[in-house]
Structure 1
Amino acid sequence: MAKTVDRAVGIDIGGTGMKAGIVDLSEGTMLSDRVRIDTPEGAHPADVLRTAHDLLELLGADAEGLPLGVCFPAIVKGGRTLSAANISHDWIGFEAEKFFEDGLGRQIHFVNDADAAGLAEARFGAAKGRDGLTILTTLGTGIGSAFIYDGVLIPNTELGHLIWEGESIERFAAATARERNDLSWEEWGHRLQKFYAHVEFLFSPDLFVVGGGVSKNPEKFMPYITTRAEMVTAVHRNNAGIIGAASLAQV
């Protein structure tokens, strides 16, 4: 393994699963196997904290004493979570960073999950060295987004909550919408086309990066999406949140 100073732990808290791993901060790669536990039902703060502790135990002795970054599906400002989509409303206005620091007995850095994934791709992946506006989207329980302009993160964008037919567009186009409505990959791809066309009209990005769990199967849905901007899959796929959170752990 690399020297301790070059390693950190990332925890990615999602609406359906919580994942963690040890990351090489110089290369942006996973040094450990990824460990995963289902997100506790309701995703209340105390239950999520307990699951984070269980993830650290699964990582074992190699994770002890390392810097820790945590990414989370909410707007995060000054260590507080200010929104709650697909999680308990207890998180709204909650001092999440302090709560986790007190509960885990270590300093952490708390960040929005899609922003963490965007940083991973900007520093170590598909958006590295790219000029202009990159928009990363994570397709999963909801739709997360990250804006990277000339390598700099513009935090807390929420494209999944653009209003579409009276509700958040993620209800129409997230990966869970495909499962919930029993859509074929092609049918879902056509829904995604509407989402990406709308986003492109609003922001005119130079690059789209598609992340989230489904990014491991791009051939199933990306052929049905056409954009003016180049569109690629995230290099780090569903590990991007872990890697990005870990990369912020020493900030």
Structure 2
Amino acid sequence: MQQPRPVFRPPFRFPGRAPVGASLALGIDIGGTKVAAGVVDGAGIIGEELRRDTPGRDARAVEDVIVELVRELGSRHDIRSVGIGAAGWMDLDGGTVMFSPHLAWRNEPLRDNLEGLLNRPVTLANDADAAGWAEWRFGAGRGHNRLVCLTLGTGIGGAIVMDGRVERGSYGMAGEFGHQIIMPGGHRCECGNRGCWEQYASGNALGREARELARAKSPMAAELLAAVHGRARDITGNVVTELALAGEATSRELVEEVGDWLGLGIANLAAALDPALFVIGGGLSAAGELLLEPARRAYAKNLTGRGFRREASIVAAELGPAAGLIGAADLSRVRQSDRLGVRRGRAHGSRVPN
């Protein structure tokens, strides 16, 4: 199946193909603990990558790190545009970070700040949107018109790619799937509600369930505790995943339970969005089929209209931790190409597509 023709919709214009002979772009992925930057070509290949520790919650300090990384990589590569992916909500124009959970950005005009410092065009994107775009362009989603990408880590990030565009909703907040309430009155979520999906189907949820089992002094948790030298507080989702992959029975059971919750939530998304593909990424996706197979079973069991409709595929992401960086760079490249096209169209008096 060929990739769809570009769809132009203001205010963001994210065409589905990079321009022929696309120049290098720089992608930056801002996380709670690290800032990763990489030079990315038109095929989604990273030429050089640098990392820095995230300097706490100080927004100005983070901007300084971004400038440092861009200048260092820019001294060795001909970088034409910069894309930044970060957790949080961006306005529809892509210029302002309305809210970021890891940093002190609140209604921050980040694009203008950085363009003034870098003298290069800058594009802002939600980190899950950037990862979803990368998987659609270069990874597991190639050839699909509609897909949903889920990133399972501390919480659940989400992205919707439809007919060659990232669907961001009316207010820039589409894709916050982790906060659909799946268990009314359930575990308290950081968002303030109870029973959000990410409290049951994320890396944090996996670690919490394992710690509760260990603190209850269950004999089933003996190997879990042995792996962390008896300190239940040190049991994380990554620890459980590694033990599950090594064949430890309790860890495999815990991962399967998370997979059940994952599949239930995916069935809900299928009822609303009906994509052909769900791409599962993020740290928890390292569990592979131990997670995905129970998710597929739970999805099929809970799917609306089961038996009378085609089922979506549920697959692992292909680009790994680099997806956000690659996607941010590519979004900056195609948006810059669109900006140039708009300016050239106006200069020649032609009609600009909407």
TM surpasses 0.5 = yes
Check if 1:224 corresponds to 2:301. no
| Cα offsets for 1:187-220 (capped at 9, x unmatched) | 1342243133123224343211011234344244
Report the Cα distance in structure 2 between the residues aligned to 1:223 and 1:190, rounded to whole angstroms: 11
Report the Cα distance in structure 2 between the residues aligned to 1:168 and 1:83, rounded to whole angstroms: 19
Q: TM-score normalized by structure 2?
A: 0.61
Structure 2 unmatched ranges of 5 or more: 1-19, 169-173, 187-193, 211-239, 241-250, 300-310, 336-354
Report the Cα distance in structure 1 between the residues aligned to 2:63 and 2:130, rounded to whole angstroms: 19
Select the residue among 36, 57, 61 that pairs with 2:51: 36
Check if 1:10 corresponds to 2:27. yes
Q: TM-score normalized by structure 1?
A: 0.84
Q: Summarize the Cα distance change of 1:231–1:21 in structure 2 as closer, same or farther, 3 Å threshold.
A: same
RMSD: 2.6
More strand, by proportion: 1
1:201-212 equivalent positions in 2, closer than 5 A: 201-202=268-269, 203=272, 204-212=274-282
More divergent stretch after superposition (45-54 vs 179-188): 179-188
Decide which structure has the larger Cα Rg and report it: 2
Q: Aligned AA for 2:36?
A: K
Q: Summarize the Cα distance change of 1:58–1:196 in structure 2 as closer, same or farther, 3 Å threshold.
A: farther
Report the Cα distance in structure 2 between the residues aligned to 1:7 and 1:36, rounded to whole angstroms: 19
Check if 1:71 corresponds to 2:123. no
| Cα offsets for 1:65-114 (capped at 9, x unmatched) | 431111111121221122333x13x3232212222223444321111111
Report the Cα distance in structure 2 between the residues aligned to 1:54 and 1:214, rounded to whole angstroms: 31
Report the Cα distance in structure 1 between the residues aligned to 2:256 and 2:31, rounded to whole angstroms: 23
Contact 2:26 / 2:79 at 8 angstroms: preserved in 1? no
| Cα offsets for 1:161-211 (capped at 9, x unmatched) | 223421543243322333355453541342243133123224343211011
Check if 1:237 corresponds to 2:306. no
SS in 2 for 1:71: strand
Q: Aligned AA for 2:51?
A: R
Report the Cα distance in structure 1 between the residues aligned to 2:73 and 2:119, rounded to whole angstroms: 16
% identical aligned pairs: 33
